[in-house]
Each structure stands twice: as C-alpha cells, then as structure tokens.
Amino acid sequence: MTKSSKRKQPVVSLLQTMTVLAVLGVAAWFVLHTFFTEKAVVPMRVAVTLDNECGLVESAFMAVTDDGASALFDRGVAQLETRSGARVWVINSDKFEDFIFESDRVMAAPELTIAANCSPSGTAATTLDAFNKQFKSDKK
C-alpha cells in the first residue's frame, strides 16, 4: 500500500496570519504610545477661582503649586504660571501666620475652582480665634 502524497490544506492561510499579526502590532503600538509614554511638560497659565466657604476675606488665602509658583487672590481669582502635570492647592496667606489652612491638591488645568471650607475638620472656631488674636487691639 502506498500512501497518498496529497498535502492537507492549512486551516488558516498565511495571509490571514500576517494580517492578524499586523493588526496586533498596530494595537500594541497605540497602547504603548497612549498610556506609557511620558507626556511633554508644557508651561501653562492656571486661573484658580476661590470658592470661599470659610467666610473669611480672600486675602487670607493664596494659591500655590508643587513647582514653587504662588499667587494671591484678586477678586476671587489667582493667576499662576506653572507647568502641565503640576499640582495646585490653596493655603493660608503669609500675611496670616496664626491661621492655618490647606486644601486638597488637584492637577493643574487652565481653569480650576478650589473650595476653601474651614468647617468640616472643626477648625472654624480655631480660625476665627486666630483672626481675633491677630487683629486684637492693644488699646482698651
């Protein structure tokens, strides 16, 4: 008995295999460049709007970034020159040393609104006492 010399046809053609590999390669490139490449640091101007829930004058607060930029609020808005990827938050102004405040840190964007809320942690009374002590008159 002689065996037949016929070859079996492959289930998947070479063209189909190459197409699948090409599609997978493009998808892998897209994922790597979208999620794993470092974004270029770009200078940016950030307008921080103060949502003052403390009931204190806006000059009691200032906006700062982790790269060292800082600005006082003027009519409820502080303009910061910083970079993309920086974190921005609101703290007490240097003018009011007895008053301590720090908000949550948020990623820099061209326009931000940050709330200054003194009451959740029970610091409202402490804040007002610090202001009263700082502005207390020595005259009776």
CATH of the domain at 51: 2.60.40
Q: What is the mean pLDDT of residues 58-63?
A: 91
Please say whether the beta carbons of 118 and 61 come within 8 A: no
Could you tell me which residue, 4 or 44, shows the higher pLDDT? 44
Could you tell me which residue, 39 or 61, shows the higher pLDDT? 61
Please say whether the beta carbons of 136 and 71 come within 8 A: no
pLDDT at residue number 37: 73
- Domain annotation covers residue 82: yes
- Domain annotation covers residue 112: yes
Expressed as residue numbers, the domain containing 57 is: 43-134
- Domain annotation covers residue 74: yes
pLDDT at residue number 87: 94
- Domain annotation covers residue 30: no
Q: How far is residue 71's CA from residue 64's CA, in Å, rounded to a whole number?
A: 7
- Domain annotation covers residue 115: yes
pLDDT at residue number 136: 67
Q: What is the pLDDT of residues 79-123, one digit of tens each?
A: 999 998 899 999 988 888 787 889 999 999 999 999 988 775 555
Please say whether the beta carbons of 89 and 104 come within 8 A: yes
Has residue 40 got a pLDDT over 60?
A: yes
Q: What is the pLDDT of residues 9-25, one digit of tens each?
A: 777 788 888 999 999 99
pTM strictly above 0.75: no
pLDDT at residue number 96: 80
Please say whether the beta carbons of 111 and 104 come within 8 A: no
Please say whether the beta carbons of 27 and 21 come within 8 A: no
- Domain annotation covers residue 95: yes
- Domain annotation covers residue 140: no
Q: How far is residue 60's CA from residue 101's CA, in Å, rounded to a whole number?
A: 9
- Domain annotation covers residue 6: no
Strands (E), the chain: 43-52, 61-65, 70-72, 77-83, 87-92, 106-107, 111-116
Provide the domain count of the chain.
1
Query: What share of the chain has pLDDT > 70, as a percent?
Result: 81
